[in-house]
Amino acid sequence: MIPSLSAGTKVLVLGLTGRMGRAHAARMRAYGTNIVGGTAIRVGTAEEQDGLPIFPDITAAVAATGARAAIAMTPPGGTRAAAESAFAAGISLLVTVAEGVPVHDALAIGRAARAAGVTWVGSSTPGLAVPGATKIGFLPDVALRPGEIGLMSKSGTLSYEVGYRMAARGLGQSLWVGVGGDPVKGTRFADLLPVFQADPRTRAMVLVGEVGGAEEEEFADALTATRGAKPVLAVIAGREAKEGVSMGHAGALTWGEFGTYASKRARLTAAGARCFDNVEALVEALAQG
Amino acid sequence: MLLIEADGKALLARHGLAVPRAALVRAGEAAGFCLDGSGPWVVKAQVPAGGRGKAGGIVLCRTPEEVEVSLARLLGTTLRGHPVTACLVEEAVCGAAEHYLSLMVDPAGLGIRIAWSRAGGVEVESAAPPAACTTSPDEAAILAAAEEILATADPAERTALRGAVRDLARALLAEGLLLVEVNPLFIGSFGTLAGDAKVVLDLNLAEGQADLRALVLARPDAYPDAVRKLQEGFDYVELDPEGEVGLVTTGAGLSMVVVDEMTAAGLRPLNFCDLRTGQLRGDPTRLVRVLDWISARPSVCVVLVNIFAGITDLGEFGRLLSDALDRTGLRLPVVARLVGTGAAAGRAELARRHPGVIVEDDLLAAVARAATLCKP
């Protein structure tokens, strides 16, 4: 469903009555996202909030609004149940933002999404956006600018820094997807390669990776196997990461040779991606065309 | 998080896996330590890192004197970036076959990957790749997959390996683990014995499950960063106890990059920090804690604040940072870079209450400013 996102895409907010749900729904609407309603954190507490209908459950919300996209603003322990209900109700794009979802829960959500043939972005992501049209999540407006670069990132804040510096130079994004920093997730870098390849608005891709896991290596393999791939520019955080300790993100964990900066950089470079030492050098190269 | 071998083995043993007789010896306890059995023994540095053998952290000892010498040599040193605060002294297993066996969460395959090789030991990476496949995260599926990949094992070994797979599967599923790797897995007339254990725990679960939480909290010396995370609710990882720049940052990726860029500029960052400023809710306690830890290190000469606000409101952050500076009476110079939601209000608050704080717009300019304050 990601390629068809537009200003008209109807979006539901699961947990709309919570502190986070309410605040971010307001910010998304201010950006132009077509929020059509949501569900309450506690069932039966409200029927309407800020002019948006609150439905008793996701099934009722989908039936009443026809929305196929949803964002879950639920706590980590409640994310699995929320996701399973959303898939059962017919949601085909689900974004979950909670940080700290147990890995085996993420495994169950990922398997359910795969069985239902739907797209899950998360577990812990700042969301995604088609700048100028819609954003589902909390990517900050100062970093969003319509353009022709496809941006994908594990880290929220680091992608904000990239988007912000791009915007300062008049560069923008065709589509921006935060895949999140957890080890098990719904949408991985390699899943996005065909999306960006097929998207006529996208001229080049920026991959903002970080140490831990094997996602950058998988992306490199997919890139090698893609004929006529668009240019890929990459930066990887965590060159100085400490071994054996999660660096903020649960997925940012290295041990021995596994998940290291050197491994990722070598594989991406061999696949034809241009890897940069820092964000400034990457944005400078983008500006050069 | 990666557990030290002793904790990994204890967790696996709870689910039935047999481990050699061993004793954990902490720094300062080596003198009164009483050795079991007749030897030989293996003395192993307990750090949460791979490659311990190649780094000299695993020593085979034939006599009690050699054990004593090895303990004295290892305890108190640093191995692969971690201080050695304890060693495992284990009865060596001699004359047994050494296999490799692991189960891990397979993020791309969305299942459990089981891998086995007859050629275990330190050279497993250079040997032929292990037989492996990914299956559903349940015990029956894992046991069925094991039958397939163990097809080439000889019958006696297969029986022993089946039991080990079952124990590892139960541990992985019951404890919500990401990885259980045993290399070498000794196989002999005794059945199986785990020569080593690499276990990766889901720290998200440890926050809610009392027994996992207790396991981590019991070892503040081995897991200082994880203990801090469980107690404080955010990430602070000390990278260099003699670092020059204390970091007050939020967001894992951006904070890692600040560390990378400072190191590239020739500076020594004290710490990594992902404060999660979106969760402060009007309370400066986290900022006070971080400033206290930073100022406790005498080598620090400047504090660098970098916040790119997506969820955070910088107006509130400016107020909370000012409160924290008041409370701690910090005497170090502070360079702050604030971008995103409410940045103007945050800067105005700092200018009013702490005009000495140097505010920069650009990250590289802020790093350069910190450098000049540190090395004038």
- Residue ranges per structural domain of chain B: 21-91, 97-201, 234-374
pLDDT at A265 over 80: yes
Say if residues B67 and B85 touch (Cβ distance below 8 Å): no
Of A102, A159, A248, the CB nearest to B205: A102
Burial class of B21 by CB neighbour count within 10 A (0 to 12, 13 to 18, 19+) = exposed
CATH 3.40.50.261 fits B234-374, yes or no: yes
d(CA A72, CA A126): 11
Domain spans in chain A, listed from the N-terminal domain onward: 2-121, 139-287
Looking at CA atoms only, how far is residue B240 from chain A in angstroms? 10
φ, ψ of residue A252 in degrees (nearest 5) = -85, 70
pLDDT in tens, A150-167: 999 999 999 999 999 999
Interface test with A, best of B260, B271, B364 (most A CBs within 10 A): B260
pLDDT in tens, A198-214: 999 999 999 999 999 99
Say if residues A212 and A252 touch (Cβ distance below 8 Å): yes
Of the pLDDT bands very low, low, confident and very high (cuts 50, 70, 90), residue A168 is very high
pLDDT at B333 over 70: yes
- Give the DSSP per-residue string, A121-136: E-SS--EEEETTTEEE
Question: Among A170, A178, A128, which Cα is nearest to A145's?
Answer: A170
* One-letter identity of residue B234: F
Say if residues B319 and B288 touch (Cβ distance below 8 Å): no
pLDDT at B244 over 80: yes
What is residue B178's DSSP assignment?
S
CATH 3.30.470.20 fits B97-201, yes or no: yes
Of the pLDDT bands very low, low, confident and very high (cuts 50, 70, 90), residue B32 is low
Say if residues A206 and A234 touch (Cβ distance below 8 Å): yes
In chain B, residues with a C-beta closer than 8 Å to the C-beta of A211 are 256
pLDDT of residue A289: 82
Return the CATH number of A2-121, one of 3.40.50.720, 3.30.499.10, 3.20.20.140, 3.50.50.60: 3.40.50.720
Of A39-43, A223-227, B229-233, the range with the lowest mean pLDDT is: A39-43
pLDDT at B376 over 70: no
In chain B, residues with a C-beta closer than 8 Å to the C-beta of A107 are 105, 110-111, 137
B1, closest residue in chain A (CA to CA): A245
Q: Span B56-80, mean pLDDT?
A: 94
In chain B, residues with a C-beta closer than 8 Å to the C-beta of A210 are 252-253, 256
Maximal CA-CA distance, chain A: 56
Of B1, B137, B207, the CB nearest to A107: B137
Element (H, E) at B24: strand B22-26
Query: Could you say which architecture CATH assigns to the domain B21-91?
Result: 2-Layer Sandwich (3.30)
Q: Which one is catalytic: A22, A68, A165, A249? A: A249
In chain B, residues with a C-beta closer than 8 Å to the C-beta of A184 are 105, 107, 110
Active site residue A249: yes
pLDDT at B311 over 90: no
Interface test with B, best of A22, A73, A99, A104 (most B CBs within 10 A): A104
pLDDT of residue B124: 64
Q: Span B191-195, mean pLDDT?
A: 96
pLDDT at B31 over 80: no
The reply to whether domains A2-121 and A139-287 share a CATH topology is yes
Of A153, A215, A248, the CB nearest to B255: A248
φ, ψ of residue B27 in degrees (nearest 5) = -55, 135
Interface test with B, best of A80, A242, A249, A265 (most B CBs within 10 A): A242
- Give the DSSP per-residue string, B188-245: ETTEEEES--EEE--HHHHTT-HHHHHHHHT-TTT-HHHHHHHHHSSEEEE--TT-SE
pLDDT in tens, B121-131: 766 666 678 89
Give this prediction's pTM: 0.92
Sole residue written with tokens 């450098």: B371
Taken as a whole, chain B contains a residue count of 376
pLDDT at A1 over 90: no
Share of chain B above pLDDT 90, in %: 79
Answer whether A139 sits within 8 Å of B310, measured CB to CB: yes
For chain A, the average pLDDT equals 94
Of A11-15, A142-146, B306-310, the range with the lowest mean pLDDT is: B306-310
Fold held by A139-287:
Rossmann fold (3.40.50)
Answer whether A158 sits within 8 Å of B257, measured CB to CB: yes
Question: Among A73, A12, A260, which Cα is nearest to B311's?
Answer: A73
Looking at CA atoms only, how far is residue A238 from chain B in angstroms? 5
pLDDT of residue B36: 77
Answer whether B204 sits within 8 Å of A156, measured CB to CB: no
pLDDT of residue A247: 78
pLDDT in tens, A267-287: 999 999 999 999 999 999 999
pLDDT at A233 over 70: yes
* One-letter identity of residue B167: D
d(CA A156, CA A143): 11
Answer whether A243 sits within 8 Å of B81, measured CB to CB: yes
In chain B, residues with a C-beta closer than 8 Å to the C-beta of A126 are 310
For chain B, the average pLDDT equals 92
In chain B, residues with a C-beta closer than 8 Å to the C-beta of A114 are 110
Say if residues B341 and B273 touch (Cβ distance below 8 Å): no
Q: Span A129-149, mean pLDDT?
A: 96
pLDDT of residue B126: 65
pLDDT at B33 over 80: no
